[in-house]
């Protein structure tokens, strides 16, 4: 099945249902195919996704993610490490080197969530 961007935006849920049923959707921009939405073989779960290169999963939270450990707070927002990096030349190649890690940073940073949300938006 083919769909352009307008059809994709208008009918995304329906197209995803078709893909889940086994169809492949080709997305076109100006009549040129640019993407393909295909069903995942066997309905991949966490175990199948954990087999991807660079991911380690032993039944708990996935590890080895590019941005480090991630959790979700009670507001549905991520809690993750923030890395301060510096560009350095290592073996003749430029790379980002972590010079400091702020662990488990939430949207509220160091503030109490209840106190923060009680303040008016313009004062935050």
**What single DSSP character describes residue 63?**
B
Order of strands, edge to edge, in the sheet holding 25-29? 2-4, 25-29, 32-37
pLDDT digits (tens, 9 = 90+) for 91-111: 999 999 999 999 999 999 888
In which element (H, E) is residue 118 found?
Answer: helix 113-118
pTM over 0.75: no
pLDDT digits (tens, 9 = 90+) for 59-86: 666 666 677 888 888 888 888 999 999 9
CA 58, CA 69: separation in Å to the nearest integer?
A: 14
């Amino acid at each position: 099945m083919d769909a352009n961007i307008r059809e994709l935006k208008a009918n995304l849920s329906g197209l995803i249902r078709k893909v889940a049923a086994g169809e492949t959707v080709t997305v076109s921009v100006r009549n040129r195919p640019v993407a393909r939405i295909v069903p995942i073989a066997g309905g991949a779960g966490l175990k199948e996704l954990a087999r991807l290169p660079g991911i380690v999963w032993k039944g708990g939270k996935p590890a080895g993610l590019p941005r480090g450990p991630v959790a979700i707070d009670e507001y549905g927002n991520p809690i993750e490490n923030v890395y301060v990096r510096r560009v350095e030349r290592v073996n003749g190649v430029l790379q980002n080197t972590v010079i400091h890690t702020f662990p488990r940073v939430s949207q509220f940073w160091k503030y109490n969530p209840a106190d923060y949300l009680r303040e008016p938006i313009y004062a935050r």
